[in-house]
Amino acid sequence: MSDAPLVDVRDIVAGYGDESVLDGVSLSVERGEFVGLVGPNGAGKTTLLQTINGVLEPDGGQVLVDGVAVHDLSSRAASRRVATVPQDTTVAFEFPVEAVVEMGRTPHRGRFSGDPDGREAIERALDRTDTARFRERPVGSLSGGERQRVVLARALAQATPALVLDEPTASLDVNHQVRTLELVRALTREGKGALAAIHDLDLAARFCDRLAVLADGDVRAVGPPEEVLTGERVATAFDTPAAVVPSPVTGAPTVTPLSHPGPDGDADHWLGHEHGHDSRDDVGRDTGHDPEAVDLQVHVAGAGTAAARTVATLAAAGATVTAGVVPEGGLAASVAREHGVETVEASPFEPVDAATEAAARDHLVAADVAVLAGDLPPSLRALVRDHDAVVRVTDRGTGRGQTGNVEGAANGVETTSGEGTGSAEATGSADEFRVDSHTTPARVAETVRQVAERPAPADD
Amino acid sequence: MGAPTSTGSGGDTGTDPATETDEPTGPATAPSASRRSASVRAASWSAGLTVVLVAVVLASATIGPVSLSIPVVAKAALNAVAVPTGVTLTAASVGLGGATATVPVPDLTYTYLFSFPVDGTAETIVRSIRLPRIALGVVVGVALASAGTVMQGFFRNPMADPSIVGVSSGAAVGAVATIALSLSIPFGIQGAAFAGALVTAFVVYLVATENGRTPVATLLLAGVAVQTFLGAVVSYLLLQAGESIEQALYWLMGRLHTATWSDVEVTLPVAAVCLVVVLVYTRDLNVLLLGEEDAHTLGIEVERTKRILLAVSSIATAAAVAVAGVIGFVGLVVPHMLRLVVGPDHRVLLPTSAIAGGAFLVAADTVARAGPAELPVGIVTAALGAPFFLYLLVTREVHSL
């Protein structure tokens, strides 16, 4: 029996009423293993956890815990095998912490015979989760992070081999997220098997031994985080382009979602939501084109999220994209590579040499539109601005670099006249279009097309 | 008796500065203190409230057209204390429709424990007139308050009361139909009320149950709908009542003035058994407060536990309203008052609510009969309970369970 996985989910079909959520899911968790369950909202993560802890009776398949089918067990027997940390830890009642932890002993307590091991298990759980010091306080008076630990203590007091956690870090600050997951990982090192639904892909990748990607009612991939989390897989599962690069600090994969290639109607919604309906916003829409199709050659220069998003957006919109100079190994470079974009890269901390600059210049000359997105050394910035049609993508979200241009981005798109301002930023082209990388892909694509269609400015 | 200490008042610990500064209590002292807490608190609070209950009972027995002193009342009351020491079966004829049948009815023989010398008239007044009514008040109050506590925990809804699944409305239909239509049925009005109450609760349960699951929200809404429907039935029956309308209205308002020792004999065992059963389930009730899903992952057989709790509290309520009519507010307000004082832990809350419910109803009934014209006790419980509850609502936090 000890060779079999601790939790063995076999071909589970489950749902609520007529609505099927899980369609033949199989997954296993070994003793001493921390498995993360990731996937978009509505993928069925909670449903899967509920079939494992016995709350939901599956329509097909079975879940074995320690070799026994959970759904053949009484609630009491099942609760001695699987403990659950629920998503909603709001205990609306004024029970003291210790009383809540004591409730974890319910499956071990005989109605008349009591629970001889209870005291010790409760003390250990309180100690382990560092909640002993507020044992007398009502749960309602604790912070979200402390309450999470109390619920975790309750699950520990249950003394089960398997632990199931539903979004244990969803409402916690960074510090408590890390502490919670560290604790869960430490518990698995002592022999428990844990399965946790985790929203934050970076955290999941950092703490879990294996990840299972759940999407559309099925497990799309299972394995070590670095194998499972690829840009393509994340893009398919979450329906959004994403860049995956190893974290320079932890080495675990980090996922940066880029932008959502949603339908235009969707984009309008977001735009209206963020900026209100400025009359200027509608100008570009009167052209009658499909606002997302960009049949142009576009060169993107810059760095960071702004450049990465722009490359992904324009590539998705059908433009022939070239990129450079972008920092070597950065987000923009990895996204460009993923989209098969011809890219000029340079070491981020050294002056750009003449050959690199020349390569970038070639791309620029060939491009219909030049896009400046994010940070760029001044010499290269000047190079880009020599182009007739320049779109500037600012990164309002972080305010990095482009300090002089941030305020111009407040309306999403802004045309500034470059004449006579004397500003180094504005010299070069007569008109400069600015677009905020946080608006929408459609807006970025549209602005690029608008710039290309505009009559060439007369040189002065 | 052990007076409850500051750690005893669970409802206050959040704001009590003493407990907050107390936080880094050494592990050596803290476990023993909290391990004791639930059972010790339950015992000390119950003992304290029992003293209050006895005081209320004695004080109530002194009040009436003939004023009696406490010592006289105490002696007469002790003389009335009896334990059943034997059972004999006697035949009783029961009429149903036109037919009569003979059924065996258990008849208890009692042994009296005390015999203090008391003035004969005073003893008669206390034992035959005042005490049966007071005793019935205690039993009904205990039944309603404990059923109310269970229902509020069960429904996780502060507005839940013992009648929430239609028990009182069903009892009212049974009783009013018997009165208004002059029906002749076994065990009379009380039997009809008891049967009506249980049938209604069962129908509500069936309506709300699907595939073996009974969502409490559905149960609550089904209860409201059935109560509304039965309210219409009662109104219609009242229109048909003719001269018996006064009797029917009195029944509906809830009253104890017809109380006899035989009412106590029937109601007491039912209420006692129900109370014992729910006391066994206090831990389960605590866990159910976390939500049904959590309760399931903590090893509670949720649906089975809900069925037992619902059945037992419905039977307790039915037994109470069958003898006393519809007495509102005891089952709603008393658990809330006690929750403010002793906190949400049912191990403490349930026994204390039960005792406090008995004391509250006896006090209210004393007010009801002390005035120049006797009032139905249901009017008094509502008239006293509602303002007091509003006072609690404004001054303390009664926003949740």
Whether the predicted pLDDT of B5 surpasses 60: no
Contact A103/B at CB under 8 A: yes
Which pLDDT band holds residue B386 (cuts at 50, 70, 90)?
Answer: confident
Whether the predicted pLDDT of A416 surpasses 70: no
Predicted pLDDT of residue A396: 55
Q: Give the pLDDT confidence of B229-246 residue by residue, as tens digits.
A: 999 999 999 998 888 898
Give the highest mean pLDDT range of A140-144, A194-198, B72-76, B367-371. Answer: A194-198
First-to-last alpha carbon distance for chain A, in angstroms, is 84
Whether the predicted pLDDT of A289 surpasses 50: no
Contact yes or no for B34 and A55 at CB 8 A: no
CA atoms within 13 A on the CB side of B296: 19
Taking the C-alpha atoms of residue B324 and residue B264, their distance in angstroms, rounded to an integer, is 11
Q: Give the pLDDT confidence of A210-240 residue by residue, as tens digits.
A: 999 998 888 888 999 888 888 878 878 887 7
Mean pLDDT, range A326-341, rounded to an integer: 78
Mean pLDDT, range B241-269, rounded to an integer: 89
Whether the predicted pLDDT of B370 surpasses 80: yes
Comparing CA positions, the residue from A61, A53, A66 lying closest to residue A107 is A53
Residue B210 burial (CB count, 10 A):
10
Whether the predicted pLDDT of B145 surpasses 70: yes
Which pLDDT band holds residue B51 (cuts at 50, 70, 90)?
Answer: very high
**C-alpha of A215 from chain center:** 14
Which pLDDT band holds residue B9 (cuts at 50, 70, 90)?
Answer: very low
Taking the C-alpha atoms of residue B294 and residue A75, their distance in angstroms, rounded to an integer, is 11
Q: Which of B20, B30, B287 sits opposite A135 (nearest CB)?
A: B30
Comparing CA positions, the residue from A163, A80, A82 lying closest to residue A129 is A163
Predicted pLDDT of residue A343: 85
Which pLDDT band holds residue A285 (cuts at 50, 70, 90)?
Answer: very low
In a domain, B266, yes or no: yes
In a domain, B316, yes or no: yes
Residues of B whose CB is below 8 A from A133: 23-24
In a domain, B69, yes or no: no
Contact yes or no for A99 and B283 at CB 8 A: no
Contact yes or no for A103 and B298 at CB 8 A: yes
Contact yes or no for A75 and B343 at CB 8 A: no
Whether the predicted pLDDT of B99 surpasses 50: yes
In a domain, B176, yes or no: yes
Mean pLDDT, range A95-122, rounded to an integer: 88
| A87 touches A46 (CB < 8 A) | yes
Cα of B341 to nearest chain A Cα, Å: 12
In a domain, B193, yes or no: yes
Taking the C-alpha atoms of residue A341 and residue B198, their distance in angstroms, rounded to an integer, is 76
Contact B35/A at CB under 8 A: yes
Which pLDDT band holds residue B119 (cuts at 50, 70, 90)?
Answer: confident
Mean pLDDT, range B388-397, rounded to an integer: 75
Contact yes or no for B283 and A106 at CB 8 A: yes
| Domains defined for chain A, CATH in brackets | 7-236 (3.40.50.300), 264-453 (3.40.50)
A196 or A383, greater pLDDT: A196
| A304 touches A330 (CB < 8 A) | yes
Q: Which of B34, B301, B401 sits opposite A98 (nearest CB)?
A: B34
Mean pLDDT, range A48-61, rounded to an integer: 91
Comparing CA positions, the residue from A324, A202, A318, A305 lying closest to residue A259 is A305
Contact yes or no for B345 and A123 at CB 8 A: no
Whether the predicted pLDDT of B318 surpasses 60: yes
Cα of B30 to nearest chain A Cα, Å: 8
List, edge to edge, every strand of the sheet that includes A7-16. A19-29, A7-16, A60-65, A68-69
List, edge to edge, every strand of the sheet that includes A82-85. A82-85, A162-166, A193-197, A34-38, A210-215, A218-223
Out of A226-230, B86-90, B99-103, B269-273, least confident range: B99-103
**C-alpha of A359 from chain center:** 34
Q: Give the pLDDT confidence of A310-321 residue by residue, as tens digits.
A: 887 787 777 888
In a domain, B284, yes or no: yes
Mean pLDDT, range A249-261, rounded to an integer: 74
Contact A123/B at CB under 8 A: yes
Mean pLDDT, range A77-88, rounded to an integer: 90
Predicted pLDDT of residue B133: 93
Contact yes or no for B290 and A74 at CB 8 A: no
A95: tokens are: 């029970």
Q: Give the pLDDT confidence of B187-214 residue by residue, as tens digits.
A: 788 899 999 999 999 999 999 998 888 8
Out of B16-30, B170-184, B289-303, least confident range: B16-30
Residues of B whose CB is below 8 A from A76: 299-301
Which pLDDT band holds residue B286 (cuts at 50, 70, 90)?
Answer: very high
B236 or B396, greater pLDDT: B236
Q: What is the pTM assigned to this prediction?
A: 0.72
Q: Which of B11, B299, B344 sits opposite A75 (nearest CB)?
A: B299
Which pLDDT band holds residue B112 (cuts at 50, 70, 90)?
Answer: confident
| CATH assignment of the domain containing B177 | 1.10.3470.10
Mean pLDDT, range B283-292, rounded to an integer: 90
Contact B26/A at CB under 8 A: no
What b/e readout covers B83-110, taking b as 16+ CB neighbours within 10 angstroms? eeeeeeeeeeeeeeeeeeeeeeeeeeee
Mean pLDDT, range B289-302, rounded to an integer: 90
B174: tokens are: 């049974």
Between the alpha carbon of residue B26 and those of residues A98, A138, A187, the distances in Å are: 15, 18, 25
For A1, the 3-state DSSP assignment is coil
Taking the C-alpha atoms of residue A67 and residue A164, their distance in angstroms, rounded to an integer, is 17
Q: Which domain holds residue B227?
A: 38-60+132-395
Q: Which of B284, B300, B343 sits opposite A94 (nearest CB)?
A: B343
Contact B246/A at CB under 8 A: no
Contact yes or no for B7 and A93 at CB 8 A: no
Taking the C-alpha atoms of residue A221 and residue A205, their distance in angstroms, rounded to an integer, is 14
Mean pLDDT, range B245-274, rounded to an integer: 90
Whether the predicted pLDDT of A2 surpasses 80: no
In a domain, B30, yes or no: no
For B252, the 3-state DSSP assignment is helix
Predicted pLDDT of residue A395: 61
Alpha helices by DSSP H, B101-130:
120-124
Whether the predicted pLDDT of A254 surpasses 60: yes
Out of A123-127, A255-259, B16-20, B314-318, least confident range: B16-20
Q: What is the mean pLDDT of chain B?
A: 83
For A247, the 3-state DSSP assignment is coil
Contact A76/B at CB under 8 A: yes
Number of domains in chain B: 1
State what percent of residues in chain A have pLDDT above 90.
Answer: 25
Predicted pLDDT of residue B360: 94
| B37 touches B2 (CB < 8 A) | no
In a domain, B55, yes or no: yes
Contact B25/A at CB under 8 A: yes
Predicted pLDDT of residue B29: 39
Predicted pLDDT of residue A404: 34
Taking the C-alpha atoms of residue A165 and residue A199, their distance in angstroms, rounded to an integer, is 12
What b/e readout covers A328-347, taking b as 16+ CB neighbours within 10 angstroms? eebbbbbbbebbebebbbbe
Which of A93, A119, A131 is most worth mutating to test chain B (most B CB atoms within 10 A of its CB)? A93
Q: C-alpha angle A270/A273/A276, rounded to 5°? A: 120
Contact yes or no for B298 and A93 at CB 8 A: no
Comparing CA positions, the residue from B335, B314, B331, B328 lying closest to residue B166 is B314
Whether the predicted pLDDT of A196 surpasses 70: yes
Residue A302 pairs in a beta bridge with A373
| A435 touches A447 (CB < 8 A) | yes
Which of B297, B305, B341, B401 is most worth mutating to test chain A (most A CB atoms within 10 A of its CB)? B297
Whether the predicted pLDDT of A287 surpasses 50: no
State what percent of residues in chain A have pLDDT above 70.
Answer: 79
Predicted pLDDT of residue B24: 39
What angle, rounded to 10 degrees, do the helices at B131-155 and B346-370 form? 140
Whether the predicted pLDDT of A245 surpasses 80: no
Out of A3-7, A264-268, B60-64, least confident range: A264-268
B68: tokens are: 């009696």
Q: What is the mean pLDDT of chain A?
A: 77
Taking the C-alpha atoms of residue A157 and residue A160, their distance in angstroms, rounded to an integer, is 8
Predicted pLDDT of residue A90: 64
Q: Helix, strand, coil: what percent of chain B each, to 5?
A: 70, 10, 25
Whether the predicted pLDDT of A243 surpasses 90: no
Cα of A49 to nearest chain B Cα, Å: 11
Q: Give the pLDDT confidence of B70-98 residue by residue, as tens digits.
A: 888 888 888 888 888 877 777 766 655 55
Predicted pLDDT of residue A273: 35
Contact yes or no for A75 and B301 at CB 8 A: yes
Whether the predicted pLDDT of B20 surpasses 90: no
Contact A120/B at CB under 8 A: no
